[in-house]
Amino acid sequence: MSALLWTKIGIPDTPAAPRIIWQNSHSMRTAIQSSKNTKGPVSAYRIVLIDESQSAFFNKDHLLTWNNSVSVGYPYYIAAEFSPENLPTNFVIGDRGTYNGFYNGPIPDRNVHWHPALGVVSSMDGVTESAYSITHHDQHSDAVYYTGNGYSRSSSGCK
């Protein structure tokens, strides 16, 4: 006698946080690494921008688009979504493109400190789970900041 057993997917493994390569007042180039998921398929990757000073309020189950976030003042939003086979290794947040229906608008100028997060979305048999990287100041450790007067390299991990 045998039985075929199936379990539902689990919350994906936490991906590595994107590294910031350069940043100016309304955009940033990030280096992104794909992630393995031992608890189900990787269905999509999401690039999310989070106001570091408000990261305690990040709710992965209540993500907004750029337009909605800007209009209500939310401290995070989805900048882009990619299929696993189309995840770029470098991505400019704020390039004003549209990626899988998500507008990647300019980084809002609210005098806040934005950090990128990578999300892994796993969907199977009507169940969807997601996990997001943890943002931290080391993401800026080698970043170049472009200002109106030139550029400067980060030495402390944050501008």
pTM reported for the whole predicted model: 0.87
Instruction: Give residue 54's pLDDT.
Output: 72
pLDDT (tens digit, 0 to 9) for every residue of the chain, 159 residues total? Answer: 877 766 788 999 999 999 999 988 899 999 999 998 999 999 999 999 998 877 677 889 899 999 999 999 889 999 999 999 999 999 999 999 999 999 999 998 866 788 999 999 999 999 999 999 998 877 777 778 776 666 565 544 454
Instruction: Give residue 16's pLDDT.
Output: 95
Long-range contacts formed by 74-79: CB under 8 A, 24+ apart: 75/50, 75/51, 75/112, 76/48, 76/49, 76/50, 76/51, 77/48, 77/49, 78/46, 78/47, 78/48, 78/102, 79/47, 79/48, 79/49, 79/104, 79/105, 79/116
Q: Where are the domains of the chain?
A: 19-148
Q: Which CATH class is domain 19-148?
A: mainly beta
Instruction: Give residue 148's pLDDT.
Output: 64
